Structure 1
Amino acid sequence: MSDFESQPWVPSETVTPQATSSSWWGIVITVLIFLIILFVALRMIRRLNNSAMRGMNAPWARVLDRQILFGQQSLYLVEIAGKLQVLGGTDHHIEKLTEIDDPELATEILDELANRPVERAEGEISKLMQKLFSGKKRTEKDSFSKELERLMKEVEK
């Protein structure tokens, strides 16, 4: 073994890392880039959701209520061409179960839907997201009450 290998290592200078202004600028720029990417992603998600919702706003067909049965099985109360129908559906199949012809029963169901509080968490979450990301405040209760009145008039005819 040589003399060099047997001697302990002694550092000639102690190096202490110093925070420089360039490292702070790097962190600030990284955070700004992250925020810009996040903002762009949220805008894209919002536009995709709006385009998907526009496709569902057909004047002749509207989903009034949904009840989840088991897993992917659901019951839907829909208005199709002015008639109330009950549909059963899964991810791969939808079937008409019955049509509600009785005007009194239809009025009672629509009245219950109009006066019922939102029970599902998804309703609360969607309302919160709509308030956060929409520039305009929408009066959902006013539009729903007008739509309910229109449906009741159609059922009474």
Structure 2
Amino acid sequence: MAPLSAQPSVAAALRERRLEGLRRTYEQEIVAMARRTMRVVPYVLAASREERGADHELITDHVRAMGWQVSRATFWDGGQAPPVAERAGFGDAFRYAMQGFAHGIVAISRAAITTDDKTYEHVLDELRAHGVFLTFLPVDDD
């Protein structure tokens, strides 16, 4: 039997796997229902203008490699961001996509959205309820 100190990390890994599966399922559902070329809107959480520009470029390159379109609009929040529900940039990206201008929101990683599992699941469910998915750049496992 694993020591008690190891059990929380196992539980966290299981939660992370479940949430990633949920995110991917929602993305696949929305992509399958799309009747036009996939269009996504970038969302960046960055401390500086340089970081924001670099992240946007990475997102744009990834999206184009997928064969999707990148919206002309881009949304961001800077610095030490408040909870995701209080971020103007993320809220604007969500409303933009919800109005039909994009099928999804692309961020560098989950950490740009939230590290709280309950909040993250709520964000995923809320986006899906409006026909919008959330996706990230692939993780390099080198």
TM-score range, shorter chain: 0.3 to 0.5
TM-score normalised by L of structure 1: 0.30
Q: Which has the larger radius of gyration?
A: 1
TM-score normalised by L of structure 2: 0.32
- Higher-RCO chain (CA-CA 8 Å, sequence separation at least 6): 2
